């Protein structure tokens, strides 16, 4: 586990912060980020790409919220975006244009985003209009958000890397299985974000030590820890009332625990 923190907001707004933390901890300039669809948020995906990360975040299923409206064959992902002309081509082969005006959409979480609208006058006489839109007046309208390019790149990555994406579960789900089911940490004992973060960091630290122990076994782990030269300050300096020789006498395990 290379990065961890708890938050008091929706998971869907969490991806770029934890990705930045992992990038910093790994001292890495780039890596591939795999995340399930619970983290699919256009703004977060763009933020991750700006961090030079290759995002492979599972797509959320497009659903028709209006049973009398758009049918599956005419959902927005069936419309092809033409970057050169900034237009869309609909399944009936008509071209939807934009006036180029950016509109603002406010969401429940108060984080707004901007989008452009695309329309065609051909909808008026389209023989499949009843399958494409439930609007009695006017035609179909497509919205393209300011994050559309980042989402499209992510979707291409997801489509091309299905095998890699499937390894996501193997990489991280067992960690939570062990911590929650085997160790019984289904809830935190403390209250308040700062305290919960402390509690959770200790759980993750314990997990990393146990996991390292299982991989390296005791002797190799101790040798590795003895040779380890962390970049942060010695443990005794973190104490409010340091004892002069504490950093010499503390075993490596203990130093690690305090420093982390
Ligand atoms: S209703 Fe308009 S957007 Fe939909 S298929 Fe017909 S022409 Fe295309």
Phi and psi angles of residue 171, each rounded to the nearest 5 degrees, phi first: -75, -45
Q: Are residues 207 and 255 in the same domain?
A: yes
Six-digit token pair at 148?
A: 């559309």
Mean pLDDT of 230-255: 48
Taking the CA of residue 126 as reference, the ligand 1 atom at the shortest distance is 6
CA distances from 258 to 180, 229, 232 (A): 24, 15, 11
**Tell me, what's the pLDDT at 120?**
97
Q: Which of 129, 134, 135, 136 to mutate to test the pocket of ligand 1 (most atoms within 8 A of CB)?
A: 129
139: left (phi over 0), alpha (psi -120 to 50) or beta: beta
Domain end residue (candidates: 146, 175, 202)? 146
Q: Tell me whether residue 32 is in a domain.
A: no
Q: Kindly report the pTM of this predicted structure.
A: 0.80
Q: Please tell me if the CB atom of residue 142 comes closer than 6 angstroms to any atom of ligand 1.
A: no
**Tell me, what's the pLDDT at 67?**
67
Domain end residue (candidates: 124, 146, 168)? 146
Mean pLDDT of the chain: 86
Six-digit token pair at 117?
A: 């609208």
Q: Are residues 82 and 139 in the same domain?
A: yes
Tally of domains within the chain:
2
% the chain with pLDDT above 70: 86
Q: How many residues does the chain have?
A: 260
Q: Please tell me if the CB atom of residue 91 comes closer than 6 angstroms to any atom of ligand 1.
A: yes
pLDDT for residue 39 is more than 80: yes
Q: Tell me whether residue 253 is in a domain.
A: yes
CB 86, CB 98: distance < 8 Å = yes
pLDDT for residue 253 is more than 50: no
CB 146, CB 111: distance < 8 Å = no
Q: Please tell me if the CB atom of residue 70 comes closer than 6 angstroms to any atom of ligand 1.
A: no
Q: Tell me whether residue 132 is in a domain.
A: yes
Q: Tell me whether residue 234 is in a domain.
A: yes
Q: Please tell me if the CB atom of residue 35 comes closer than 6 angstroms to any atom of ligand 1.
A: no
- Write out pLDDT tens, residues 98-136: 999 999 988 766 678 999 999 999 999 999 999 999 888
Q: 37 CA to middle of ligand 1, Å?
A: 29
**Tell me, what's the pLDDT at 11?**
84
Indicate which residue's Cα is closest to atom 2 of ligand 1: 123
**Tell me, what's the pLDDT at 257?**
44
Mean pLDDT of 193-217: 93
Q: 129 CA to middle of ligand 1, Å?
A: 6
Q: Are residues 191 and 140 in the same domain?
A: no
Q: Are residues 194 and 136 in the same domain?
A: no
Q: 94 CA to middle of ligand 1, Å?
A: 7
Q: Tell me whether residue 36 is in a domain.
A: no
Domain end residue (candidates: 146, 174, 209)? 146
Mean pLDDT of 242-258: 43
The residues that bridge with 95 in the sheet, in sequence order, are 89
**Tell me, what's the pLDDT at 207?**
95
**Tell me, what's the pLDDT at 107?**
73
pLDDT for residue 57 is more than 70: yes
pLDDT for residue 30 is more than 90: no
**Tell me, what's the pLDDT at 109?**
65
Q: Tell me whether residue 162 is in a domain.
A: no
% the chain with pLDDT above 90: 64
Biggest CA pair distance of the chain: 86
**Tell me, what's the pLDDT at 249?**
38
Q: Please tell me if the CB atom of residue 126 comes closer than 6 angstroms to any atom of ligand 1.
A: yes
Domain of residue 214 covers 186-260
Q: Are residues 141 and 195 in the same domain?
A: no
- Write out pLDDT tens, residues 135-188: 888 899 999 999 999 999 999 999 999 999 999 988 888 999 999 999 999 999
Q: Are residues 193 and 251 in the same domain?
A: yes
Indicate which residue's Cα is closest to atom 7 of ligand 1: 123
Q: 135 CA to middle of ligand 1, Å?
A: 12
Six-digit token pair at 11?
A: 């998971």
- Write out pLDDT tens, residues 59-105: 887 766 566 778 989 999 999 999 999 999 999 999 999 999 999 98
**Tell me, what's the pLDDT at 99?**
96
Q: Tell me whether residue 44 is in a domain.
A: no
**Tell me, what's the pLDDT at 65?**
59
Query: Positive or negative, the Cα torsion across 129, 133, 136, 139?
Result: negative
Report the distance separating Cα 42 and Cα 144, nearest Å. Answer: 11
Q: Tell me whether residue 196 is in a domain.
A: yes
Phi and psi angles of residue 192, each rounded to the nearest 5 degrees, phi first: 100, 140
CB 2, CB 26: distance < 8 Å = yes
**Tell me, what's the pLDDT at 138?**
87
**Tell me, what's the pLDDT at 32?**
95
CB 154, CB 48: distance < 8 Å = no
Q: 180 CA to middle of ligand 1, Å?
A: 50
């Amino acid at each position: 586990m290379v990065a961890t923190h708890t938050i008091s907001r929706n998971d869907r707004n969490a991806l770029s912060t934890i990705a930045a933390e992992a990038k910093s901890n790994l001292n890495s300039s780039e890596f591939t980020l795999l995340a399930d669809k619970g983290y699919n948020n256009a703004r977060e995906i763009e933020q991750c790409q700006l961090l030079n990360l290759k995002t492979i975040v599972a797509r959320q299923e497009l659903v028709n919220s209006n049973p009398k409206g758009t049918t599956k064959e005419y959902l927005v992902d069936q419309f092809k975006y033409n970057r050169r002309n900034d237009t869309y081509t609909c399944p009936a082969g008509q071209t939807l244009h934009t006036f180029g005006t950016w509109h603002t959409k406010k969401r429940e979480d108060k984080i707004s985003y901007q989008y452009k609208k695309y329309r065609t006058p051909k909808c008026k006489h389209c023989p499949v209009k009843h399958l494409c839109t439930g609007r009695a007046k006017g035609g179909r309208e497509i919205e393209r958000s300011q994050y559309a390019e980042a989402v499209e790149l992510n979707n291409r990555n997801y489509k091309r890397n299905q095998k890699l994406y499937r390894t996501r579960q193997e990489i991280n789900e067992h960690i939570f299985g062990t911590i929650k089911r085997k160790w019984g940490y289904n809830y935190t004992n403390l209250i308040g974000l700062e305290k919960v973060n402390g509690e959770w960091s200790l759980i993750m630290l314990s997990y990393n030590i146990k996991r390292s122990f299982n991989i390296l076994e005791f002797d190799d782990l101790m040798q590795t820890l003895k040779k380890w030269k962390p970049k942060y300050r010695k443990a005794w300096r973190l104490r409010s009332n340091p004892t002069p020789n504490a950093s010499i006498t503390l075993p490596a395990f203990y130093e690690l625990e305090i420093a982390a």
